[in-house]
Chains A and B, each alone.
Chain A
């Protein structure tokens, strides 16, 4: 039978079942249950739970563990992710896979502690300095949080890059029924590049992000971008809902996709031709799915818990072939289906 779990706890249990045995964190609301759960569970499965002295320290511990080839992760909420951004950039520059979880809260600054999606730009465009991307997954149910944890670890290993699960305080705090994968089923890949000891039997591996020769650095970055192109072709994911005949298509991810879906159902009951595209990967952004939808849809409406950070990505994806409107709340406010429905009525 399914069990009821909080999103934060489900993320933690799913990570353990995906073979993660190294967690480094620092408490922050609304993510703390994840770290608390790890502190109880990790010792029981022979893993390492370590509460670092700061976020910066925690992310560098992740870098170290990932260098040794193990599945390592950290979790935090918005202000803490900003502190971790330096380490994430270093990991991207060292081609290291790891999982970073952001249970977003309102910002900027210390902001608030209620749910938000205002770190979209940070996650998809600028998780740190330099030319790089990370994989970004956006679950919208507790079950999907479980499912995407192992997908994110697998994708991170496949492409040798950091992956993020971009959740929010609502998903982290809420309980829903979940079916957990069986323990001990995770498929861990060989990592011949890892600096995990070699007993003098092979040349030593170097994990590094410092390259003082510009042409060498350019070459490495270009190779990474060649890989990103493949990622864009192979890893895009989105769910479409009632889009076939839709004239107005809502685009929403995570918690706001739940609200948008309710609004779409209510609008359909009134005979409005509306649908929903829910990006499951935010990077790579599911441009193919949106392009397809733009062939028939007359307009799009991005529904977010931010000031409209995803709007530009929707416009780019559809090559501005249709107008892209925006409805959102921010600062920890959660849009209501009624609010979204009102906006739909204004547009159709």
Chain B
């Protein structure tokens, strides 16, 4: 999986939640961030592998799943997605439609939803909620690797104790994404 967007949107955090879910589900996992001289507002992405076998290269070059939070990220990675793969994108920030016809694309207006529901900054978790509903915890999907209950456990692992007050807001955002 690749999670990509602007720095500050929480793509690395979203990837970490997915990675923890894989760990809790007993899979081999890796999480590799892009790193560089970028800062808030620049682009950021991370590669997450969830596998039954030990993971070789943690760098994802042909993702089965792409979560895109802005247009530059979609443009950068859309051609690398495996045929038959899944794309989940923030349709409130990405105005255009995906041209490839061999992909399943979910258009989630996550930024607008987050604003409306008082969950500013949690667009990433809305998309993550959708990711779990559509892929990770969807028994029909070839890339499914966990049950519905794992997502909440993974979230608890990723929200540090000093930010415990954020846990409920994150849960609301995940639920919103799952229902979208």
Contacts and interface: CB of A to CB of B under 8 A. Distances in A.
Contacts of B157: 4
Nearest to A172: B35
Contact of B57 (A4, A173, A177, A336): A336
A17 interface: no
Contacts of A2: 23
B57 A174 contact: no
B57 A113 contact: no
B121 interface: no
Of the four ranges (under 10, 10 to 19, 20 to 34, 35 or more), the interface on chain A belongs to: 20 to 34
A259 B49 CA distance: 14
A4 B35 contact: no
Greatest chain B CB density within 10 A among A4, A170, A259, A260 is at: A4
Contacts of A262: 56-57
Contacts of B59: 170, 334, 336
B35 A29 contact: yes
B23 A177 contact: yes
Contact of B56 (A29, A173, A176, A337): A337
A25 interface: no
Interface string B61-89: 10000000000000000000000000000
A258 B29 CA distance: 13
A261 B19 CA distance: 22
5 contacts: A2-B23, A174-B32, A176-B55, A261-B54, A337-B56
A174 B31 contact: yes
Interface of A: 1-2, 4, 29-30, 113-114, 169-170, 173-177, 258-263, 265, 334, 336-338
A176 B29 contact: yes
Contact of B31 (A1, A175, A261): A175
B23 A173 contact: no
A323 B53 CA distance: 32
B36 interface: yes
Contacts of A263: 56
Interface residues of B, number: 21
B118 to A, nearest CB: 30
B16 interface: yes
B109 interface: no
A113 B29 contact: no
Interface in B21-47: 23, 29-33, 35-37
Given A4-B23, A174-B31, A260-B56, 11 more contacts: A4-B16, A4-B19, A4-B20, A113-B36, A113-B37, A169-B35, A175-B30, A175-B31, A258-B58, A334-B57, A336-B61
Contacts of B37: 113
B36 to A, nearest CB: 6
Contact of A176 (B30, B33, B53): B30
B55 A258 contact: yes
B36 A173 contact: no
Contacts of B29: 4, 176-177
A334 B31 CA distance: 16
Greatest chain B CB density within 10 A among A173, A174, A175, A336 is at: A175
B129 to A, nearest CB: 20
Contacts of B20: 4
Contact of A265 (B30, B32, B56): B56
A173 B35 contact: yes
